[in-house]
């Protein structure tokens, strides 16, 4: 029976894979063939029109507005509270944190895990593989360049990139 089920699952997977490849010219993680990105966002209580890939890790209290795209392989850490506004694009591999275990680890467990709320404004673009550290606020319409480490607040209408991320003067 187990082998029969496995054969059936593989057949369904092949069918779903072929359809997605044909229609959209893309190949996804296994779970994304069996889930709906918009349905997942809805079940998380995120805003209307928001989509979240199956392989996104969501921790704690995460509030997300409407029409937000969360790309594959992201981490949304709401352990200390995370708010994301409307019309944001969170690219593949982005990690947004609201906690860290540095002091807990280096104190050999005598100090607690630290948390601080993180807030992403409305209309924000976060480039691929960027990391937003706990306690950071990113203002409306900000742009975070690819592979940036954001360890301080970013003002509205500002473009930052780099490690650490810094504002760029035009």
Among candidates 64, 70, 66, 57, which has minimal Cα distance to 82? Answer: 64
Residues with catalytic function: 100
DSSP code string of 113-167: PEE--EEE-TT-EE-TT-EE-TT-EE-TT-EE-TT-EE-S-B-TT-EEETTTTEE
* pLDDT for the residue 26: 84
Among candidates 18, 85, 20, 154, which has minimal Cα distance to 164? Answer: 154
pTM: 0.91
* pLDDT for the residue 28: 86
pLDDT tens, residue order, the chain (170 aa): 778 999 999 999 999 999 989 998 988 888 888 889 999 999 999 999 999 999 999 999 999 999 999 999 999 999 999 999 999 999 999 999 999 999 999 999 999 999 999 999 999 999 999 999 999 999 999 999 999 999 999 999 999 999 999 997 65
């Amino acid at each position: 029976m187990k082998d029969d089920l496995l054969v059936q699952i593989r057949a369904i997977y092949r069918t779903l894979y072929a359809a997605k490849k044909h229609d959209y010219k893309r190949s996804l993680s296994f779970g994304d063939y069996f889930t709906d990105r918009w349905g997942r966002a809805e079940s998380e209580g995120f805003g209307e029109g928001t989509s979240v890939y199956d392989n996104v890790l969501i921790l704690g209290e995460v509030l997300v507005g409407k029409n937000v795209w969360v790309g594959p392989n992201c981490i949304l850490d709401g352990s200390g509270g995370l708010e994301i506004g409307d019309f944001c694009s969170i690219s593949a591999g982005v990690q947004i944190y609201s906690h860290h275990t540095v002091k807990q680890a280096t104190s050999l467990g005598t100090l607690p895990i630290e948390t601080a709320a993180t807030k992403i404004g409305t209309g924000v673009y976060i480039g691929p593989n960027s990391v937003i550290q706990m306690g950071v606020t990113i203002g409306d319409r900000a742009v975070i360049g690819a592979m940036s480490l954001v360890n301080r607040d970013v003002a509205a209408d500002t473009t930052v990139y780099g490690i650490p991320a810094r504002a760029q003067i035009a």
